[in-house]
């Protein structure tokens, strides 16, 4: 299926959501829906069943929640972690940090394995932490930590978590729909404006019906109570509070496109190809990625800024925008970096243009190549594998 380019003058968003959506997705928002109407209830039911189909597990159900991704992470934590539970948070970036901060707000006991900016949490250290602290009930991990682009090894983390008789909650925000979750979990969350390629406005929890039933009465929050939303939707077909009707109509269109493209495998393959084209092209210009190939996700790639004194990120950003691409600043604390998102309505043709635009921008800046400072390469060498 051909991808639809943005309108003339509208840039591609090389950002991990909001991202570039198709005309069909945008056009689906050009009508109003009554939230009580049977047609709209059917849309909600369809959305839930199509998401369960993508998750592809036993006895699963889906509970959509209004708000951005962070709202649904908070809803999951407040509903799945018992009030007297204790959480082991595996943190290697901004979203892991946010999970620990959310647990503090919720008054849920937590301990953090902090791996810094981009080192992956590994199964053996999680196993050791669980063995050392029998009070831990739940482990939380971010599947793709979007702040560096690392794909965390959720398989080995799930194995040791369930091996130790604990539960795993996954922030799958930026990976669901493009990277399969073929591992045991208690609940996972994602949102409308990431790999399904919808527009922002709601997130969703995927969990087994048995796990959902166990969340009754746990939530600290009325609007973020996953059980209450689930129960109400099952009984009435409706959302408890005003649903983002246009966003849902757009999301259904995005789900249909996801299916006709070939589901998770095809979506993941297109993004992986986007990544491979942009990474090879940028390396050809002398740039280096933060992560070695093994840890590079097909979602977003962190690239070190060039060492050359004529390079300025803010000028580079404006030059890229003039050429039709919105890039993303980096989030590393030690060395300067920027990020290129690989998700959204983009394919390899677009990624080749991103590389050409980068070469032209460097040229205009008077920077001969993308070679990073030595310090960046020393940092990367810490990633042993
Ligand atoms: C996008 C994202 C979120 C949610 O962020 P919002 O800005 O609230 O949508 C959470 N976790 C990860 C890993 C993400 O990529």
Mutate which of 16, 19, 70, 77 for ligand 1? The one with the most ligand atoms within 8 Å of its CB, which is: 70
Q: Distance between CA atoms of 138 and 143, rounded to whole angstroms?
A: 16
Distance 175 CA to ligand 1 centre (A): 11
Q: Are 77 and 106 in contact (CB under 8 A)?
A: yes
Which pair of tokens denotes residue 220?
A: 């600290």
Rg (CA), the chain: 21
202 exposure class (CB count in 10 Å sphere: 0-12, 13-18, 19+): buried
Query: Of all atoms in ligand 1, which is nearest to the CA of residue 144?
Result: 13
In this prediction, residue 332 has a pLDDT band, given cuts at 50, 70 and 90, of confident
Which whole number is the average pLDDT over 361-373? 98
pTM of the shown model: 0.96
Q: Distance between CA atoms of 327 and 333, rounded to whole angstroms?
A: 18
Q: List, for residues 195-245, the tens digit of each pLDDT value.
A: 999 999 999 999 999 999 999 999 999 999 999 999 999 999 999 999 999
**pLDDT score of 384:** 65
**C-alpha separations of 268 from 51, 196, 275 in Å:** 16, 11, 10
> Whose structure tokens read 């009754």?
216
262: left (phi over 0), alpha (psi -120 to 50) or beta: left
- Using a 6 Å CB cutoff, which residues line ligand 1? 16-17, 68-70, 73, 95, 142, 146, 171, 173-174, 191
Domains of the chain: 12-16+263-381 (3.90.1150.10), 23-260 (3.40.640.10)
Which whole number is the average pLDDT over 249-267? 98
Q: List, for residues 117-142, the tens digit of each pLDDT value.
A: 989 999 999 999 999 999 999 999 99
Q: Are 183 and 162 in contact (CB under 8 A)?
A: no
> Whose structure tokens read 């959509």?
64
Distance 191 CA to ligand 1 centre (A): 8
State CA 366 to chain mean position distance: 35
Q: Distance between CA atoms of 23 and 25, rounded to whole angstroms?
A: 5
Which pair of tokens denotes residue 138?
A: 């739940």
203 closest CA partner among 218, 217, 224? 224
> Whose structure tokens read 């060498």?
381
214 closest CA partner among 231, 189, 195, 232? 231
Distance 131 CA to ligand 1 centre (A): 30
């Amino acid at each position: 299926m051909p991808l639809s380019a943005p309108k003339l003058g509208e840039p591609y968003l090389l950002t991990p959501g909001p991202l570039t959506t198709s005309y069909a997705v945008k056009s689906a928002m050009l009508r109003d829906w009554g939230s009580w109407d049977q047609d709209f209830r059917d849309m909600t039911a369809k959305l839930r069943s199509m998401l369960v189909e993508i998750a592809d597990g036993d006895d699963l159900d889906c509970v959509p929640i209004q708000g951005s991704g962070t709202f649904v992470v908070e809803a999951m934590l407040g509903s799945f972690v018992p009030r007297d539970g204790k959480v082991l948070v595996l943190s290697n970036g901004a979203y892991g940090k946010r999970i620990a901060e959310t647990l503090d707000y919720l008054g849920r006991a937590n301990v953090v394995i902090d791996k810094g900016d981009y080192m992956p949490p590994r199964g053996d250290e999680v196993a050791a932490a669980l063995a050392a602290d029998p009070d831990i009930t739940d482990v939380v991990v971010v599947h793709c930590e979007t702040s560096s682009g690392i794909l965390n090894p959720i398989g080995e983390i799930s194995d040791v978590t369930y091996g130790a008789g604990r539960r795993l909650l996954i922030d799958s925000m930026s990976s669901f729909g493009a990277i399969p979750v073929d591992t045991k979990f208690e609940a996972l969350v994602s949102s409308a404006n990431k790999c399904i390629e919808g527009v922002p406005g709601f997130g969703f929890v995927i969990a087994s019906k048995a796990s959902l039933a166990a969340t009754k009465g746990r939530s600290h929050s009325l609007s973020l109570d996953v059980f209450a939303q689930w129960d109400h939707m099952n009984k009435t077909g409706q959302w408890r509070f005003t649903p983002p009707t246009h966003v849902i109509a757009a999301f259904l269109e995005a789900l249909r496109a996801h299916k006709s493209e070939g589901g998770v495998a095809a979506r993941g393959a297109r993004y992986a190809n986007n990544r491979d084209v942009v990474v090879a092209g940028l390396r050809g210009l002398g740039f280096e990625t933060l992560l070695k190939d093994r840890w590079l996700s097909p979602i977003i790639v962190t690239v070190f800024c060039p060492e050359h004194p004529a390079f300025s990120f803010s000028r580079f950003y404006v030059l890229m925008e003039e050429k039709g691409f919105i890039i993303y600043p980096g989030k590393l604390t030690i060395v300067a970096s920027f990020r290129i998102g690989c998700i959204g309505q983009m394919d390899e043709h677009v990624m080749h243009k991103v590389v050409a635009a980068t070469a032209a921008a460097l040229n205009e800046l008077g920077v001969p190549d993308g070679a990073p400072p030595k310090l960046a390469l020393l940092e990367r060498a810490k990633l042993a594998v």
